Amino acid sequence: MTLAQILALVIFLAMFGVIMWGKVHRYIPALIGAALVIVIVFLIIMRDARLIAETFNFGQLGTSKFWYPGHEPIESKGVNWQTIIFIAGMMLMVEGLAKVGFFRWMCLYVARLVKFKVVPILVAFTVLSGFLSMFIDSITVMLFLASVTIEMGRLLKFDPVPIIIAEIFASNTGGSATMSGDPPNIIIGTALGLTFMDFIENAGMIAWVGMVVAVIFFYFAFRKILVKKSVGAEAASNGRGGNNSPQAYPSPREAISNPLLFGIHTFIFLLTIVLLVTHAQSGISVASIGLIAAILTLIATGKDWLHIIKKLDWRTLLFFIGLFVTVGGLEHTGVLAALANYIGEISKGSLFIILTIIIWISTILSAVIDNIPFAATMVPVIGNLAAASALPIGPLAYTLALGTDIGGNATPIGASANVVGTAIAEREGYPISWGRYCKYGIPSTVIVIAICWALVTLKYVLLL
């Protein structure tokens, strides 16, 4: 290895280590790592300032192809602005939806449909988490769903932790089904020129087979715990003359303070979904879709637009920028190309072996490290691997998405949704220990990933 490769790798691993340490927000090590790559690797060792411009690639923002590529793929090297702009736009849209009570309304509506029965709530909220995560970032889904679940737990006198664990799993699994569902998928899709429907047609069905298995797993794992708690609470309530009919609980309408704004923001959400589903046909880039969602949300918000802007998670966006620059150091120095060549050599070009390596390595590593930087690192690896082995990029990309997203379910730190869900539970007085989480997270992850691996093998190896 050259000195530039060694230093780029050391900086990247140090950044990863600090992120895993978890004592500071991840945007800090990402930005420090990016600065070290620029100064030490690009300027001092490689002495090539052009690499900085190539990595940031600001020039593409001023081209029409970036916003309206038609049916041509957008080349993505260094900072993936498609991902950053799309995520920023979705963040603003979600803030608008939250402000008008959309998420609380939906949760209360689903709870009323199942008549506020605890075990049906487990199943319904798990499925709801998976479905919403197909279109909205899983972090956002857990932000509101965990809070509403805790509220339901206090109202119906049951322990909300089992349902929160199931929701976390579903949010990551549902997110693996589409390009917009999870940050790793957004990175994979935008970098490799894949569309929303590409993900639905290839990863979607496999992910939802896994989702059905996960729902069954959590139903049997938590049914007795929840039934025991809820039966005791119901008996106590009846003894006090309590009313257990659905009418005794909050109405979904109570979540809506302004019906007109509620309708407008719901329309913006549905329009964004339509634009995502059809962007392969319309030729609009995902960055344009994110920008449209953001502009419409700010217009609909009116005089409160500044409040929505302030709620934007700038730290996460800075994390993505720093991450892409740090990974760019590995790419420009040839580290990722070397890793791709190594995988190609040990697999001898076998698609079965390559897919097996990708899905299980992704699962294992995503269980112990944040799956976003792992996905960003692996995208150029599978790109180089596909080129060197003359293999189609699609199967590698969808396998990587399934492994990183679902593999992150195994531990409380495997994905951002896990961190958010467990943090909300702890803040509200329901701490989730590593032991309790992993007792259900690890076996469910292994079962679902094994099924996904079998289906990926069937689809791309045996049936080709």
The mean pLDDT of 270-285, rounded to a whole number, is 90
Sequence-separated (6 or more) residues with CB below 8 Å from residue 323: 30, 33, 34, 372, 373, 376
What is the per-residue pLDDT for 230? Answer: 54
Element (H, E) at 86: helix 81-99
What is the per-residue pLDDT for 232? Answer: 47
Q: Please tell me the distance from the alpha carbon of residue 294 to that of residue 268, in angstroms, as a whole number.
A: 9
Residue 356 pLDDT > 90: yes
Q: Please tell me the distance from the alpha carbon of residue 196 to that of residue 199, in angstroms, as a whole number.
A: 5
Residue 359 pLDDT > 60: yes
Q: Please tell me the distance from the alpha carbon of residue 65 to that of residue 63, in angstroms, as a whole number.
A: 5
77, 101 Cβ separation under 8 angstroms: no
Residue 5 pLDDT > 90: yes
Span 129-149, pLDDT tens digits: 999 999 888 887 888 899 889
What is the per-residue pLDDT for 220? Answer: 95
What is the per-residue pLDDT for 288? Answer: 95
438, 413 Cβ separation under 8 angstroms: no
Residue 381 pLDDT > 60: yes
Q: How confident is the model at residue 239 (pLDDT cuts 50, 70, 90)?
A: very low
Sequence-separated (6 or more) residues with CB below 8 Å from residue 99: 265, 301, 304, 308
Residue 46 pLDDT > 80: yes
The mean pLDDT of 423-437, rounded to a whole number, is 90
Q: Please tell me the distance from the alpha carbon of residue 452 to that of residue 284, in angstroms, as a whole number.
A: 31
Per domain, the residue ranges of the chain are 3-332
Span 147-180, pLDDT tens digits: 889 988 888 889 999 999 999 999 999 999 999 8
Residue 233 pLDDT > 60: no
Sequence-separated (6 or more) residues with CB below 8 Å from residue 441: 165, 169, 409, 410, 411, 412, 414
Q: Please tell me the distance from the alpha carbon of residue 177 to that of residue 193, in angstroms, as a whole number.
A: 16
What is the per-residue pLDDT for 35? Answer: 97
Residue 304 pLDDT > 70: yes
- The reported pTM is 0.83
User: 20 or 226: which carries more pLDDT confidence?
Assistant: 226
DSSP single-letter state for residue 29: H
The mean pLDDT of 331-342, rounded to a whole number, is 87
What is the per-residue pLDDT for 76? Answer: 66
What letter represents residue 53's amino acid?
A
The mean pLDDT of 312-318, rounded to a whole number, is 87
Buried b (16+ CB within 10 A) or exposed e, 343-373: bbeebeeebeebbbbbbbbbbebbbebbbbb
57, 81 Cβ separation under 8 angstroms: yes
Q: Please tell me the distance from the alpha carbon of residue 461 to that of residue 453, in angstroms, as a whole number.
A: 11
Residue 258 pLDDT > 90: yes
